Structures are given as C-alpha cells and as structure tokens.
C-alpha cells in the first residue's frame, strides 16, 4: 500500500476551505476532432462521440464522416456543473476522469436499423482544473474496444481525441490550493489470502479507509472490484496504476497516464515485513493466490482537513484500512433480492483490518510512505485501542459507501441496536446545536452593546418605555446595523453554525430534486432555528441581570505574562487557559505553540506537549527548535526511533547549530551509543571554537579602530527562526558584579571573570526555557566533568532550578548556598533564594533577599516575580506605602492585572480612592475575570455611595467565584456600615 502525501510540506495551514460557490460552476467540454481512427479499424466510415462523467451521459455528438486520412471533425460541446453539494463536487473531480467513447455507426441494411458499436475509449484527467488552470487542451489516446474475433484490430493504434475543457472561473484560487494538499492512496494487492477466497461472481473484494475532507466531512475512499488471481507469475514491475471506476469497454483506458507502480527493495519500505527473514515469505506470497487492485485514489484536502489529519496522526499514528469479502445479493432486475436473516449474516463473508503507520508523513521532507501491512481480523476493541475509532465503515457506515449498486443489504448489526457510530453522530449533533446557542448569544450581546452605544442604558428608575419610542429606537438601530455593515457581519457569524446543523443534525449534504422539497426543508429548518434561538436568548436573559463584560484587549505578549504569573501561583488551570487563548489569537504563531508545549511538558502530559511541538513543526518543517523539542518529548515517551529522526533532521537542516549537535549527542549517550555521542559532541565543540575565534577577531578589530566593543559572546546560540534566544536567568552577564564592586570601592578585589563558555551550558540555557529537566541533568553532569576549576555559579543556579521545579527544597537550598559563596553579588542568585524562601513561607528571609535584589544596579532576569512577591509581603505586613512603590515599579517593568491590582489594594488601604479606582480599572482592562479586582471595586463603590455600581461589581465577584473569604466579609461589613440594605450584598 502506498500513501503519497506532503503533510509537512505546507508552511501556512491557514483556515482556508474549499471555495463556497454561491452558484454552481459549469465545466465546458468540447471534443474538437478524432485522429487516426483508421488505426483502430481500417474500414470505419461514420462515427459519433459520447461524453460521460461520473456515471452520467452528458451527450452524443452528431454522426460524422471519417475522412480518408482517418480524421473526424466533431466540434461537439457539452457541460456539467461543479458544486460542493452536487454529485460532481471537487472531491469527485480530483479522482474521476472524463470518459469519451467513439462509436461506429453502420448504415441501415434492408429492414434492419442502423447499428452503433463502440470503437474506442479515451479518458481525460480533470485534476489540472483544481491546480489553477481554467482551460485545458489535451490529445487523449483512444484505446480499442475488444470486438468479435472476426473483426481485426491493429495492435499499435495511434488514434486520439483532441479535447478542450474549460471553466469561466477558477475552481480553486492559488491561495486555497497552496494552503491545502493533495493526498493520493494506491492499493496494490492483498497477498496470502484465505483458501476460501474464490473467483466467484457473487463475491466482491473491497477495501476502504476514511479521511477528513472539505467542510468537516469525512470522505470514504472505497477500492472495489478487486480481482482474485490464481497461482502464477508475480505482478510485473513497473506496471500502470488504474482509475478508480469499474470495468469499461476498453480495459487499457483504465490506466492512469504517466502513473506507475515501480516497487523497490523490501528493506526500504515503511511498512511491516521488511526484515531479511520475511523476504522468502513475501516472494512466495506474491506469486500465489492474491487479490489485485492496482488502483490509485486521490482527494484534495483543504487547510482545515490537513490540520485535522495532522492532529489525528499525532494523536494516534495508526490509520485503519478495512478489507472485506462481501456477498453480492442476487435478485430481480435492478433490485436487490429480499434476504432472510441467514443471508444477511453472510453479507460480510470476511472482515479484516490493516493498521497503517502514518506518523512518517509528519516528518520533515517525507511525502510518501509505501509498504506491506499485516491484515488482522476486525475486532472492535482492538481497532479502538490502536486507532481510537469506534465504528466500522463497512458495518456501521455502509450508507456512505453507496453500496446499493453492489446489491448489498443492511447487516443485522445495524438493524438491531444503535452502534457506537450512531452514538457518535448523536453526540456530534448535540455539539452543533450547542455551538449555535453560543453564536446566538454572542450576536445578541453584540447587538445589545450597539443599542447601549446609541441610546445609553435604560435604568430601572426611568420607568417603562412607551411603544412609539421603542419602535423609533428599533428603526434607528436597524438603520445603523445595515449601513455600517454590522448586520452582514452578524449574519456571517451565524451562517457557519447553521451549515453545521444542516449537515450534522439533518444529515443533508446533497441538492434538492424539486423546489417543493427545498421549500419544505427550509420551513422545517426555520422553525427549528427560531425555537433554539429562543432557548439561547432565554438562557441569556434568565441569568443574572448583569451585562457581559467586554473582552479584554490584550496582546499575545501580555497573555504569556499572565500565563507565567498563574504558573508561579500554581493555578495551572488558569495558566493553561491563557496559553490556549494566546494560540487562539494566531494559530500560525510558532512560539505560542512552543510555549504551551513547554508548559504541558512540565505540568500536564508529554503526549499533549508533542502535539503542540508537532503543530509548530507543521507550520515550518525546517524550524530547528521545534524539531529538537519533538525529539526531547519523543525520548520522554520512549519513542526512540522517532527521537533519532528528529535530532538527525535538526543536525542536517542546521549543521552549524551547537545546541542541535549537543542534544543529539546526549540522546545517543542515553541509547548507549557512546561513539556516536562523542562524535556529535566533538562537532559541537568544533563549532563553538570557531564561534569564539570569530568573536575574538571582531573584538580585536573593534579595539584597533578605537571603538568600545561588546564583550565576547556567552549569549545562547541563535536558533534559526529569525530571532535570538534571550539569556536565561542562570547565565546573566557579569556586568552587575563589576559595577557592584566599583560602587563598594574595592579596587583591590579583582573583577570576576565570565564563566567558561561550553557546549553544555549553552544547551542548558535552551533546555531550561522548555522545561526539559531530564536533559538539563544530563548536560549538567557533562558540564561538571568538563570543568577544571570546579562548578560555576551558573552550574549551581541551573541545578537549583531543577530542584525547585521538583520541589526538592533542601537540595535547592544547598545549591544556592554554593552559588552565593562563588558569586555573592549576583542578583539572580538572591532572586532564586528569595523565591525558595517565599515558597517555604519564610517571608522574612524572602523579603530580605528580594530587597537585596532591587538594591543592585543590575536587575535580575525575573524582576517581575521579585516585584510581585515582595509587594505581596509588604501588603501582608501592612507596609502599604512600600507596597504601592514596588507594584508601580512592576507596572513600569511589565504591567499585568496582578501588578495593577497590587497598586489598587495599596491605594485603597492608604484611602487614596481615586488612585485606587484608576489602578483597579487598569487591572480590569487587562483581565476582567479576576474576582478580587471586582471585589475591591465593590468596596470603592460602597465607600462612594454608588449602590447600583457596587451591586454590579459584587455580582461579578460572586459569579467569578472569589476565594478570598476575608475580602467577602469586608464587603458585607462595608455594606452594613454604609447603611445599604439590599440583601444581595
């Protein structure tokens, strides 16, 4: 089985879908002429041409004389319509060619009518119409139709048809085509089949698999009519692939032009049975009884379908391909016979499944997999365990395969009880209705906001609005929505969810045959949608009488800061929410996927981390950082073969990457491949030496010109994604130490020198940013062995970081004590020590450490968390002036909801109400889901006598689930103190 594809070849899997054609697009076909017809049959005189597509006859040309040179001029035109909901959709165009039949017309003989017999057939591939071509001109070879033995056919016919195919507009734009991908699957043969398989006309040998298609559909690819061949010579190589439709009059026309099965050595395949001991078995099996298809099926995957396929492969690498021998029912003309229960049980005489490992298609540069895969008996539990698929295509979703032509009835399994597939479809319809409710609610809130902007808010004490005023406001609102284009925007928001309801709830994907059917369906759909609109609106209006808060206007950079704040506070659920919100802002931002993956690697699960890193790799298959991270997680999941591929690809794509060679060496060392590991370490050290020599040369040149050069690099290696990695907290420059020494007027003490730059510390910098703790330990072990003067401050800081993540506080403290002894003026050492004391609830020592950090001229790397934690300590100790100062420094450094909340609390305690409200408003603008912010706003409103606003703020406080019991008690006490008797407060 061969699966050519390029799942990693696209760098922009945008959310583009196949074009939503408002009107069907006609595909115009013109058969211009036929040439060399006499090579098919020497005495042919009159012919006509018949054009067929997708099983339907599009028309016949007029009868045309054949000229002496074998030419016949037809100039016959016909057409069919391409539409997403019609029988000739884009999925059909990809895999089905145009069929042209030249018919010989014999003159009437006495009382006999004229006789029309097929002479030759040709096919035209329509795939170029999806590749940016609007007009296609081809010379299609005509293949002879076998006739009776009395008619002699020339064996080397050169006849052909000149055909043009055109459309008035592109079926796919260049952007749509480039953002998608073309998937082709070739099924060659099934070998070593059971002895019970016989070449019986009542048996159909079929295989099927299902893949994502355009518009959230699932496209079943069905390989029918496998030919059972007896013992004999194996299939020749190379041999042509066949079109995926049934037998035609000219068998040679089934061959796809310029498309061949070429084979290759067994050991080079991607499937199973590739070992030397399997070779004899395969040679024997391929020359005995077998089922042959040699058929290629293609489908175009839009960007959304590509993303779904990538996700599914990442989640579960195996793709099930079902194989069955199905009994064909015998019956009357055009109808399947009525079957009794015993016959139904024999419908699927054999049901097997092969598990195709598709993971290789996610690897950079891989566009094809080919191999042999074992066939197992189909067992539901085993299929679900390996593929997470809960249904059988042949058994549970037979209606999708259009098997009526095969005379196949419904099996008892589908009649007696609903299958898992039915349950899945039910769950799917429940989800689309829920999505419709959410869309209706969103639009209703947006319209209400527009109303408030036009007319202001109607307060309860203003009385009931009269009917005329209400109608006038309604007219003005409608005018504003229509003229501004917002009405159209709201309608577009609802359209997608309505389409999903039509597909999932009503299972309607084809065109209506009559206008009456269409009108009846629209009436039913309208009633259904209106009913559920009322349900959604009632849910919205029956809740608390609080208008929803507008969404916060935050950037991806701010969301990353919020996520790391939540991590520091051990609120992992909130941190995960901020990471996913960041991805939702721009799903093509690689760094967002990498940051979320690093979070999942540390706090959630490695499988989810791998999904994130693979998604980043899909966005850019040559992104070195993503490749390395995929390798790191593959090691954690014990997928060592995959890990090796990722590390080797990184080294090949960026041979100058010190980090890639070092990580690859660490991996080989874990696999006990010490020679390969040492080779990679040697390459990394050679690159580092060259880098340092270049920096010294630049430094010397700058000094010669009298310029003040920057110090030689201990910066981390630049990862080739267009940006350099920032220095982590453990490798901060030593400028702070020199300046601190100068401030303390101690010239006799020599300025400390920068620690030696090694390949392992460079790699540690990278690994710490992605939470790869195991690899950090491996790299630090090498660093310890490579240093001649003993461990450095940076070494102990990195080791302390790993122990802090593991909450091994005694070891962390020991490392930090060593670091302080080596470099007592390093702000990063004291920041880490402050964090350790803070986590141990030793707030006195934490405060002392943090105060020492902010006294240094040079900042620590993580000053944001130093400010936050020192400010919280000051608030607890009621040093509100100091708390306000520290939180304002934090706002200047990197503002967040928590920094402004700290300012607001400090100002409130200092009775600076205006400043407090301003600060809390800033906090609310950055994150309007923080219950504590709303709680302090309620207190301020109560202090100012603004009861209605206080009630509103308090309702948000309760709705968001405030956990601060002391603040809740304070709000209730303030309500009592200021004499507001509303029981809600």
State the Cα–Cα distance between residues 676 and 255, nearest whole angstrom: 48
Q: Using alpha carbons only, what angle is made at residue 937 by residues 933 and 941, rounded to the nearest 5 degrees? A: 175
CB-CB contact of 815 with 703 (8 Å): no
Residue 627 pLDDT greater than 60, yes or no: yes
- Please tell me the predicted confidence (pLDDT) of residue 189: 94
Residue 982 pLDDT greater than 60, yes or no: no
Residue 51 pLDDT greater than 90, yes or no: yes
Q: Which residue has the higher pLDDT, 747 or 807?
A: 807
Residue 824 tokens, joined: 């007592």
State the Cα–Cα distance between residues 225 and 843, nearest whole angstrom: 77
CB-CB contact of 360 with 238 (8 Å): no
pLDDT in tens, 583-599: 887 888 899 999 999 99
The helix or strand, by DSSP H or E, that contains position 593, with its residue range, turns out to be: helix 590-603
Share of the chain above pLDDT 70, in %: 80
Least confident of 123-127, 359-363, 577-581, 722-726: 722-726
- Alpha carbon separation from 799 to 600, 775, 787, 793 (Å, rounded): 21, 12, 15, 10
CB-CB contact of 646 with 614 (8 Å): no
Of the ranges 145-149, 500-504, 854-858, the best mean pLDDT one:
854-858
pLDDT in tens, 938-973: 888 888 888 878 888 888 888 888 888 888 888 888
Confidence of residue 861 (pLDDT cuts 50, 70, 90): confident
Residue 759 pLDDT greater than 80, yes or no: yes
* CB-based contacts of 225, cutoff 8 Å, min separation 6: 204, 205, 206, 246, 247, 293
The helix or strand, by DSSP H or E, that contains position 183, with its residue range, turns out to be: strand 181-191
State the Cα–Cα distance between residues 517 and 334, nearest whole angstrom: 26
- Please tell me the predicted confidence (pLDDT) of residue 354: 95
Confidence of residue 544 (pLDDT cuts 50, 70, 90): very low
Confidence of residue 135 (pLDDT cuts 50, 70, 90): very high
Least confident of 318-327, 404-413, 804-813: 404-413
Q: Which residue has the higher pLDDT, 627 or 721?
A: 627
133: Cα within 13 Å, side-chain hemisphere = 14
Q: Estimate the share of the chain in helix, then strand, then coil, as percent rounded to the nearest 5.
A: 50, 15, 35
Confidence of residue 167 (pLDDT cuts 50, 70, 90): very high
Q: Following DSSP, what letter does each residue of 877-935 receive, concatenated?
A: TT-HHHHHHHHHHHHHHH--HHHHHHHHHHHHHTT-HHHHHHHHHHHHHH-TT-HHHHH
Render the burial of 311-346: b for 16+ CB within 10 Å, e for the rest.
ebbbebbbbbbbbbbbbbbeeeeeebeebeeeebee
Three-state secondary structure call for residue 420:
helix
Place of tokens 């030689």: 712
> Which of 493, 54, 16 is closest to 302 using CA atoms?
16
Mean per-residue pLDDT for 400-424? 41
Sign of CA dihedral 802, 804, 808, 813: positive
pLDDT in tens, 634-687: 999 888 988 899 999 999 989 999 999 999 999 999 988 888 888 889 899 999
Sign of CA dihedral 647, 649, 651, 656: negative
Mean per-residue pLDDT for 227-253? 85
Could you say which DSSP state residue 788 is in?
S
> Which of 289, 323, 249 is closest to 1 using CA atoms?
323
State the Cα–Cα distance between residues 383 and 387, nearest whole angstrom: 6
State the Cα–Cα distance between residues 584 and 178, nearest whole angstrom: 23
- Please tell me the predicted confidence (pLDDT) of residue 26: 92
Sign of CA dihedral 446, 447, 450, 456: negative
- Alpha carbon separation from 89 to 93, 409, 821 (Å, rounded): 7, 27, 74
- Please tell me the predicted confidence (pLDDT) of residue 725: 33
Place of tokens 């790299």: 779
Is pTM beyond 0.75? Reply is no
CB-CB contact of 980 with 941 (8 Å): no
Tell me the Ramachandran region of residue 792: left when phi exceeds 0, alpha when psi lies from -120 to 50, beta otherwise: beta
Quick one: 237 exposed, middle or buried, by C-beta within 10 A (0-12, 13-18, 19+)? exposed
- Please tell me the predicted confidence (pLDDT) of residue 3: 58
pLDDT in tens, 323-340: 998 876 544 444 444 444
State the Cα–Cα distance between residues 919 and 929, nearest whole angstrom: 16
pLDDT in tens, 779-799: 888 888 877 677 888 888 999
Cis peptide bond prior to 238, omega within 30° of 0: yes
- Alpha carbon separation from 464 to 330, 468, 472 (Å, rounded): 75, 12, 15
State the Cα–Cα distance between residues 712 and 696, nearest whole angstrom: 7
Helix segments in 33-143, DSSP class H = 90-95
Phi, psi at residue 182, to the nearest 5°?
A: -105, 120
Of the ranges 92-106, 383-397, 756-770, the best mean pLDDT one:
92-106
827-831-837-843 Cα dihedral, nearest 10 degrees? 90
Q: Following DSSP, what letter does each residue of 108-133 receive, concatenated?
A: PBTTBPPEEEEEEEEEE--GGGGTT-
Average pLDDT value over all residues in the chain? 79
Three-state secondary structure call for residue 141:
strand
Mean per-residue pLDDT for 439-458? 80
State the Cα–Cα distance between residues 960 and 549, nearest whole angstrom: 12
Q: Which residue has the higher pLDDT, 741 or 677?
A: 677
Cα 547 to the chain's mean position, in Å? 35
- Please tell me the predicted confidence (pLDDT) of residue 857: 82
* CB-based contacts of 300, cutoff 8 Å, min separation 6: 18, 90, 91, 94, 130, 172, 177, 180, 181, 182, 183, 214
Residue 266 pLDDT greater than 70, yes or no: yes
Residue 143 pLDDT greater than 70, yes or no: yes
- Alpha carbon separation from 878 to 881, 889, 902, 907 (Å, rounded): 9, 18, 12, 12
pLDDT in tens, 596-615: 999 998 887 888 888 889 88
- Please tell me the predicted confidence (pLDDT) of residue 927: 83
Residue 728 pLDDT greater than 70, yes or no: no
Confidence of residue 74 (pLDDT cuts 50, 70, 90): very high
Residue 137 tokens, joined: 């001109």
Residue 458 tokens, joined: 């109607």
Q: Which residue has the higher pLDDT, 280 or 982?
A: 280
CB-CB contact of 959 with 545 (8 Å): no
CB-CB contact of 111 with 96 (8 Å): no
Residue 51 tokens, joined: 């054009």
Residue 798 tokens, joined: 């990195």
> Which of 778, 793, 783 is closest to 760 using CA atoms?
783
- Please tell me the predicted confidence (pLDDT) of residue 862: 86
- Please tell me the predicted confidence (pLDDT) of residue 190: 94
State the Cα–Cα distance between residues 64 and 44, nearest whole angstrom: 11
> Which of 213, 383, 429 is closest to 394 using CA atoms?
383
Residues belonging to the chain: 985
782-783-789-790 Cα dihedral, nearest 10 degrees? -90
């Amino acid at each position: 089985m061969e699966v050519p594809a390029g799942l990693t070849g696209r760098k922009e899997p945008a959310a583009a879908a196949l074009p939503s054609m408002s009107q069907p697009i006609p595909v115009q076909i013109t058969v211009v002429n036929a040439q060399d017809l006499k090579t098919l049959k020497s005495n042919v005189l009159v012919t006509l041409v018949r054009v067929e597509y997708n099983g339907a006859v599009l028309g016949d040309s007029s009868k045309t004389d054949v000229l002496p040179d074998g030419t016949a001029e037809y100039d016959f035109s016909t057409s069919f319509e391409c539409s997403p909901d019609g029988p000739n959709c884009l999925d059909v165009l990809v895999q089905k060619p145009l069929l042209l039949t030249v018919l010989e017309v014999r003159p009437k003989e006495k009382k006999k009518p004229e006789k029309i017999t097929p002479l030759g057939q040709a096919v035209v591939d329509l795939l170029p119409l999806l590749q940016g071509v609007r007009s296609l001109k081809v010379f299609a070879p005509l293949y002879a139709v076998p006739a009776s033995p009395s008619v002699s056919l020339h064996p080397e016919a050169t006849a052909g048809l000149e055909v043009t195919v055109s459309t008035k507009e592109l079926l796919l734009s260049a952007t749509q085509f480039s953002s998608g991908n073309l998937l082709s699957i070739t099924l060659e043969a099934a070998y070593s089949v059971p002895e019970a398989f016989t070449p019986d006309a009542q048996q159909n040998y079929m295989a099927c698999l299902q893949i994502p298609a355009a518009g959230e559909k699932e496209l079943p690819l069905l390989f029918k009519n496998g030919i059972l061949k007896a013992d004999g010579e194996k299939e020749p190589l190379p041999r042509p692939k066949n079109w995926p439709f049934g037998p035609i009059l000219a068998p040679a026309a089934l061959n796809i032009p310029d498309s061949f099965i070429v084979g290759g050595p067994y050991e080079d395949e991607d499937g199973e049975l590739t070992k030397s001991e399997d070779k004899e078995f395969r040679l024997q099996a391929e020359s005995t009884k077998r089922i042959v298809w040699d058929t290629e099926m293609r489908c175009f995957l839009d960007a959304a379908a590509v993303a779904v396929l990538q996700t599914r492969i990442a989640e579960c690498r195996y793709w099930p391909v079902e194989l069955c021998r199905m009994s064909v029912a015998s019956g009357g003309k055009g109808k399947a016979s009525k079957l009794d229960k015993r016959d139904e049980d024999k419908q699927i005489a054999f049901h097997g499944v092969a598990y195709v490992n598709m993971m290789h298609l996610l690897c950079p540069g891989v566009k094809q997999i080919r191999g042999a895969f074992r066939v197992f008996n189909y067992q539901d539990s085993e299929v679900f365990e390996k593929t997470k698929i809960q249904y059988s295509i042949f058994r549970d979703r037979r209606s999708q395969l259009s098997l009526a032509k095969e005379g196949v009835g419904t099996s008892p399994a589908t009649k007696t009880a609903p299958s898992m597939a039915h349950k899945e479809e039910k769950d799917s319809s429940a989800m689309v209705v829920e999505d419709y409710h959410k869309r209706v609610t969103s639009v209703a809130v947006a319209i209400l906001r527009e109303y408030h902007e036009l007319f202001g808010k109607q307060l309860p004490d203003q009385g009931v609005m009269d009917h005329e005023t209400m109608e006038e406001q309604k007219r003005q609102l409608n005018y504003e929505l229509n003229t501004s284009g917002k009405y159209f925007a709201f309608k577009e928001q609802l359209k997608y969810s309505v389409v999903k309801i039509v597909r999932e709830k009503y299972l309607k994907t084809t065109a209506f045959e009559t206008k009456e059917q269409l009108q009846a369906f629209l009436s039913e759909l309208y009633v259904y949608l209106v009913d559920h609109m009322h349900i959604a609106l009632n849910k919205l209006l029956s809740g608390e009488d609080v208008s929803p808060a507008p969404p916060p206007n935050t950037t991806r950079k701010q969301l990353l800061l919020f996520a790391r704040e939540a991590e520091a506070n051990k609120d992992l659920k909130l941190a995960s929410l901020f990471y996913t919100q960041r991805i939702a802002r721009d799903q093509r931002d690689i760094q967002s996927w990498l940051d979320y993956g690093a979070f999942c690697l540390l706090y959630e699960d490695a499988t989810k981390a791998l999904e994130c890193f693979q998604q980043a790799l899909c966005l850019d298959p040559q992104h070195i950082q993503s490749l390395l991270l995929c390798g790191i997680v593959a090691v954690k999941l014990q997928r060592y073969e995959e890990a090796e591929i990722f590390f080797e690809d990184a080294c090949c794509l960026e041979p100058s990457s010190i980090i890639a060679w070092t990580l690859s060496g660490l991996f080989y060392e874990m696999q006990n491949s010490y020679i390969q590991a040492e080779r990679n370490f040697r390459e990394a050290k050679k690159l580092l030496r060259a880098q340092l020599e270049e920096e010294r040369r630049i430094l010397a040149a700058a000094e010669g010109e009298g310029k003040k050069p920057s110090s030689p690099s201990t910066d981390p290696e630049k990862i080739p994604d267009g940006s350099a990695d920032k220095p982590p907290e453990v490798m901060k420059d030593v400028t702070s130490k020199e300046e601190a020494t100068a401030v303390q007027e101690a010239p006799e003490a020599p300025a400390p020198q920068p620690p030696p730059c090694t390949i392992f510390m460079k790699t540690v910098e990278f690994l710490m940013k992605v939470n790869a703790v195991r690899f950090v330990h491996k790299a630090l072990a090498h660093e310890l062995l490579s240093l001649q003067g003993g461990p450095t401050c940076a070494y102990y800081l990195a080791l302390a970081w790993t122990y802090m993540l593991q909450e091994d506080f005694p070891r962390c403290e020991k490392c930090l004590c060593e670091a302080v002894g080596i470099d007592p003026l390093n702000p990063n050492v004291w920041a880490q020590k402050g964090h350790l004391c803070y986590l141990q609830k030793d707030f006195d020592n934490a405060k002392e450490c943090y105060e020492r950090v902010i006294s240094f001229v040079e900042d620590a790397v993580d000053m944001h968390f130093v400010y936050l934690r020192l400010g919280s300590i000051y608030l607890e100790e009621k040093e509100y002036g100091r708390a306000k100062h520290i939180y304002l420094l934090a706002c200047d450094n990197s503002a967040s909801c928590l920094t402004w909340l700290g300012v607001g609390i400090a100002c409130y305690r200092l009775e600076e109400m205006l400043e407090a409200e301003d600060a809390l408003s800033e906090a609310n603008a950055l994150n309007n889901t923080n219950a504590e912010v709303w709680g302090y706003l309620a207190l301020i409103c109560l202090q100012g006598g603004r009861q209605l606003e206080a009630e509103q703020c308090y309702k948000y406080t309760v709705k968001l689930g405030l956990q601060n019991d002391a603040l809740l008690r304070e709000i209730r006490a303030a309500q009592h103190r200021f004499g507001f008797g509303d029981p809600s407060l």
